[in-house]
Amino acid sequence: MLLGNYTVGTVESTLKYFLVNGLGTLLKVFGFSLLFFYSKTYNFDLIYYGVIRYAYISFSLWPKFIYDLGVFFIMLGFLVKLGVAPFHY
C-alpha cells in the first residue's frame, strides 16, 4: 500500500486487518471494563477472591457470571487479535 501498488485485494485486506484488530481491541476493553466497574480494581486475584467470597455469602451466582463474562470477552479479544480460527479472515 505504501508504494502505490493499489489493487482491490490490497485495499480489501488492509481494511479487513484494521477492522478485525479494532474489534479485538473493543472486546478486550469491554471485558476489562466489566471487571473494573464490578470490582474497582485491576488485580485479578482480588477480583476472583472477592467474587467467590461474595457468591458464597449471598448464595448468588450473579457476581461469578459477571466475572466469567469479563474474562470471556478479554480472552475472545486476544484470540481475535492473534487471528486464531475461527476468528481469522
Model confidence at 44: pLDDT above 90: no
- Across residues 58-77, what is the average pLDDT? 81
The yes-or-no verdict on residue 1 having pLDDT over 60 is: no
Exposure of 39 in the CB half-sphere (CA atoms within 13 A): 25
Instruction: Tell me the whole-structure pTM to 2 decimals.
Output: 0.74
24 occurs within a structural domain: yes
Count of domains for the chain: 1
The verdict on residue 2 lying in a domain is no
User: Does residue 1 form part of some domain?
Assistant: no
Kindly state the DSSP code that residue 87 receives in the 8-state scheme. S
Does any domain span residue 52?
Answer: yes
- Is the pLDDT reported for residue 9 higher than 90? no
